[in-house]
Structure 1
Amino acid sequence: MDTERHSPHRQTVAILSRGDSAARRDTTPQNSRFVRVFEALADAGIDAAPAIYDESFAGTVRDQLLAADGVLVWVDPIHQGKTRAELDALLRDVAAQGPAHGPWVSAHPDVILKMGVKEVLYRTRHLGWGTDTHRYDTAAKFRTEFQSRLRADGPRVLKQNRGNGGQGVWKVEALPNADGMVRVLHAQRGSTPEDMPFDALLARCEPYFGWGGCIIDQAFQPRLPDGMIRCYMSGAKVAGFGLQKIKALIPPPPEGPDSPEAQPGPRIMHGPDAPQFQALRRSMEDEWTPQMMATLGIDEPSLPVIWDADFLYGPRTATGADSYVLCEINASSCFAIPEEAPVTIARTAQQRFRQSRHVRSD
């Protein structure tokens, strides 16, 4: 069986995403939201199939993954109250079958825990994308250090270690002439500012120490209204960019948080050669990504086949040029993507197959 599976043949990839039993039954490459990725993989000579996952039929999914040569994973850290705890254990088990029998997995859960969590902002704060960033690993440390920092440094942004869609991300500022009171704004869509005692904020954030292990604290970036740049990466190379005028952590207009004026603008996608982003591209490819890998202990073949780094505009330089501040890395479920990205994903997948064959031949 093993000889048959690893004799020369078209490589196979399972594209894993979350869904229910009906989605598992009915999803095809043609009706999947990843249809362009399926098409690019097929054009590259790679057979790909959907692998819809839920904890209720995890054993069936495991068997499907073990029959593939590679696994591409698109699953958020938190979805409708479910975390990735059981899925990550399954993916570790599948990948641990060894280079002779198991598929490669992208992104591997251990890689996500290094680069796809908010703690990466603290661990790489010394790089050119860094800013004033702190880490609290206990509620006691948070209580002691954050309050004094907030009073001294102005508005801050708190981030739970694992989350998506703005869950667990808060802008916090001290209220003048109101000792122990703070104004908070959640990054989730539809949120409005709230004034509360600091102890109420602490109680709201305390669960984050359990699921994510820590809270990350960054200086608020005043140029937030200028937009967020999403730099899409495939391995160590830029695959494209997305620019969006975001509204998270910006107080809603008088029309209210659900009004059209309060909604984020569309994400405008650009290819990797877009002229306005070439300085950022050079920094990502030539400096920051290699430095991040060295800091976190990640080799290039372990980088996700698709991931993104989200940047806010930092202070302008003395010459008036833009600087960039990293606010998040997404490695668990990076989608939607620029139209150029599926071809890059397929090319990177081919490289992973060549690397896998080299390991097996050793």
Structure 2
Amino acid sequence: MKKHIVIFEVVGGTDKGPNGYRPDTMPIVKSIEKRGWTAEVIFYSHEKKDEILKHVSDTADAYLSRINPGNLTDEANYFDMLRKLYDNGVKEMPHPDVMIHLGAKDVLVKLRDTDLVPDDTFAYYDIETFKNSFPKTLLYGERVLKQNRGSTGEGIWRVQLVDQLIDVEAIPLTAKVKCTEAKDNHVEYHKLGDFLTFCEQYIKGDNGMLIDMPFLPRIKEGEIRLLMLHRTPVNVVHKKPANQKDAFSTTLFSGAQYRYDATSDWPDLVDLFISNLSTITNKLGNLDLPLIWTADFMLDTDKRGNDVYILGEMNCSCVGFTSELSLSEDIADEIISILAPQYA
């Protein structure tokens, strides 16, 4: 056992503090060192990829990726290096394939056979399928379209039919739709055909896709984010949209209000998610779950009037915990606990 952990960052980006590091990176380093281990931060660059690969393979038990993929100029090369580290026996936290599959919006479709996601959730990977299918799904009520790329609600649209239609098999392209973007809750009105053409941009390019799922009116009560430390729920962030007529965004930028709760305040949600961890692992190719990750839920009501929780997305690429830096102590303990069986 080398008792050494490498934390990957990248130079630049909006997630850095005055010292150039993410605000939650050095607390992890210090917590690891308090336990008699060593840790170092390495700023990844493609030019030094081979040098970094050799150094980390020779010195580290595990790597912890703390890079927002959006801050990388060459994500594929970074992921290639992480795969080689995994092949060289360096414990992955997380594996790049987990970042790709769990972070992509179509994980919702992959989990459609669970009780986490509605049956009428779809993924569109090509423009033709999208333009043929969405006018039919819109017939059954308000929908939400989510692009795979972007952040802070950009490219997430609530789509409502303005005038009710009857006895049609699909909404005509000339029908008027009301479109509200989660980025700032602004409203636009379009003919359906024009809006579909606008949305082509989300499908084109690498990793382009659109997720189509039912709009849940109870989003007005808030989105519930479950913060996970490996397999353990840590806390819950309740994110309530701004008190405006069309608001459904839960980002701080849009005026949402955040409240931090204990997991004991949400026992049904925690039990639901924990019971599905093995299924999620299987869907990720039986790779280990991330060290720090989140799952976002919305409330819905079943036919009996009971509350149910609907998964909206998951994220593990670089989940921050700057509002609770003391969590670094638990993170250090969990890293060592994960590695212990390898050296027993």
| Bin of the TM-score, shorter chain as denominator length | 0.7 to 0.9
TM-superposed CA distance for 1:303, in Å, is 0.8
Residues 77 and 163 in structure 1, CA contact (< 8 A), matched pair in contact too: no
What are the ranges of 5 or more consecutive residues in structure 1 without an aligned counterpart? 1-7
Equivalent of 2:111 in 109, 115, 124: 124
Residues 244 and 265 in structure 1, CA contact (< 8 A), matched pair in contact too: yes
Classify the secondary structure of the residue corresponding to 1:211: coil
Classify the secondary structure of the residue corresponding to 2:154: coil
The more displaced of 334-343 and 105-114 is 334-343
- Aligned length in residues: 328
Equivalent of 1:198 in 186, 192, 195: 192
Superposed counterparts of 1:107-256, under 5 Å = 107-131=94-118, 132-150=120-138, 152-176=139-163, 179-188=174-183, 190-209=184-203, 210-247=205-242, 251=246
What are the ranges of 5 or more consecutive residues in structure 2 without an aligned counterpart? 165-172
Superposed counterparts of 1:327-342, under 5 Å = 327-336=312-321, 338=324, 341-342=327-328
Distance (Å, rounded) in 2 between the aligned partners of 1:45 and 1:328:
37
Residues 293 and 314 in structure 2, CA contact (< 8 A), matched pair in contact too: yes
Q: Percent identity?
A: 23
TM-superposed CA distance for 1:276, in Å, is 1.6
Distance (Å, rounded) in 2 between the aligned partners of 1:135 and 1:288:
21
Q: Tell me which residue corresponds to 1:344.
A: 330
Q: TM-score, normalised by structure 1?
A: 0.78
Deviations 1:5-55 (A, max 9, x none): xxx55x12222233239x799546xx8433332333223333222223355
Amino acid at match of 2:160: E
Distance (Å, rounded) in 1 between the aligned partners of 2:244 and 2:342:
43
Residues 174 and 192 in structure 2, CA contact (< 8 A), matched pair in contact too: no
1:92 and 2:77 correspond: no
Amino acid at match of 2:330: T
Deviations 1:222-266 (A, max 9, x none): 01111111111122221222112135997359xxx9xx9951113
Distance (Å, rounded) in 2 between the aligned partners of 1:107 and 1:200:
40
Distance (Å, rounded) in 1 between the aligned partners of 2:331 and 2:238:
20
1:276 and 2:270 correspond: no
Classify the secondary structure of the residue corresponding to 2:235: strand
Distance (Å, rounded) in 2 between the aligned partners of 1:200 and 1:77:
31
Structure 1 residues 181 and 115, CA gap change in structure 2 (3 angstroms):
same
Distance (Å, rounded) in 2 between the aligned partners of 1:350 and 1:250:
48
Residues 17 and 23 in structure 2, CA contact (< 8 A), matched pair in contact too: no
Residues 24 and 320 in structure 2, CA contact (< 8 A), matched pair in contact too: no
Aligned-pair Cα RMSD in Å = 3.4
Structure 1 residues 252 and 321, CA gap change in structure 2 (3 angstroms):
closer
Distance (Å, rounded) in 2 between the aligned partners of 1:250 and 1:83:
41
Q: Tell me which residue corresponds to 1:307.
A: 293
Distance (Å, rounded) in 1 between the aligned partners of 2:47 and 2:189:
41
Distance (Å, rounded) in 1 between the aligned partners of 2:55 and 2:177:
50
TM-superposed CA distance for 1:144, in Å, is 0.2
Classify the secondary structure of the residue corresponding to 2:174: coil
